[in-house]
Structure 1
């Protein structure tokens, strides 16, 4: 197991990350924050035209590279329509169910930079008025944002600076329990992002020598399908997506181990690279689960679809209630951190 995992610092960083709004398409603030962290660590990085951040640490072998990626973009919404009542109709960013955000507080981010508070509700919320308050479909037609401003019509809402196309971010409601659970929206994939940043910090602080030049790719469009499918150096042989393990009926993943994905909706991950991860976990006493995610895709699978000739694999912390109010446990973060460290320090597998 890793001896360099810093629980307090990791949780503090994770809380900072989830509290910076970053729905896909609106990620400048969080990318700027991460760039500042890398500047402090004196780590070389580049920014892609799409806004992704790619940090690089040189290894002993500079001819065959590794790449690890996590994504900071999250689920969110955009203003689709300003209704006659002054309330807002939404358009989803990413894939989730409307009931997962019903009742959630949110920010509307206007073009001027102003933030306006609101609550995501069913139009038919009031049980004393609407007979179908409980049975009405949770749909784009019925979900709306109630603004915390004195507005009664569309013109008054527009006077606040709100317009169609403004981004809407959901409150994370971060909480750490005494029993070791971390509850928050956007643990997908900011838990993995925090772990990658902490790994970089550990490599620098402990002067760890990597066997291969390694890139750390922080993507910002994963939730909409094309986060890590470009700007991959030609020398990259192995591509690891560090993303959540999905928990539910028929799954082996849990909140206490690292989840290693053998297959998702895109098909099987690279067999030899996946077995290498499993072997590392066994050798170092890292608790893991192998799993298949039926309705899942990652930046690694996006890179394969884009035509990159790389070996790809996927692992990460187990996240309960994905794309809703999510939860994981500190044990899962520890085991994921341990596998990350073991992997970047291991010799590259050769055929």
Structure 2
């Protein structure tokens, strides 16, 4: 991505489905497909969408739109969103159905109950409003499909959330803001919600696949207890503060956990690298501290310290615990920090303790 480049915004799956639904319903009511079709988003914007397909058929109408997510690396960018609208008996109201490529909810804790199609409340409201522009009090079945959606869903967290058979139809504003990471943070929140609804008392957030595999093995946790927080440790902890569980483990590699120990709640590289000088200062040996400060990476710094018989892991875990606990207070939660190297070996740990009661060294404020 070029620095300084103005990134182009795109449209959510929910906005595309709304436009396709409006076009199909208009064809049912008036006999013609509006192309392009204009919708009104919750914020007042009125984008227009070109139709990729438009078919009147016996018992319904189908319209399809190719999703444009702008410059965001969205898994559904370029996907074909198809909506079939079928008339229902007068007074039946509006019903939603998952077509091929759209998932079905199978676990509690999500915004809709198990058995419902994974079409979120935001898109449902947008679709209802769009159809009411065509004709008040619509009585219709709206079936949403996403071409190749079941395969695309394998690249999302849907399976872990209990959304099976395809993708979710998402979007509260209708607009995709490039690199906002809103969808990732939302998936963290939904993961916590599902775990709580299923009575899971211990969840573990991990920074990546290696630390997730390691913490799963360490505690024998089921999939539903594993939260793929990535760099958004702050986003996970602040949500858990408001929606607590009994036990929380934060797991990560040496570099990410060093950043957390240095009071970073967003661990992305764009927020800055770990301070190797501060890392070396944790050791009493001045010469060794200087070598660590001059290391190329945090991983190399850990190797230098371990070779000298001065493991850093527990010290980093203790300081990371203090930072994470501060974000969790006053949740009635016990917190643990575990630090793994690239092979999945446990190299640092701050054991479970109630937040507000540090299990080890106090946090040094700089």
TM-score (normalised: structure 1): 0.28
Q: Of Structure 1 and Structure 2, which has the larger fraction of its residues in strand? A: 1
Structure 1 or 2: larger helix share?
2
Higher RCO (CA-CA < 8 Å; seq separation 6+): 1
Larger radius of gyration: 2
**Superposition TM-score, scaled by structure 2 size:** 0.27
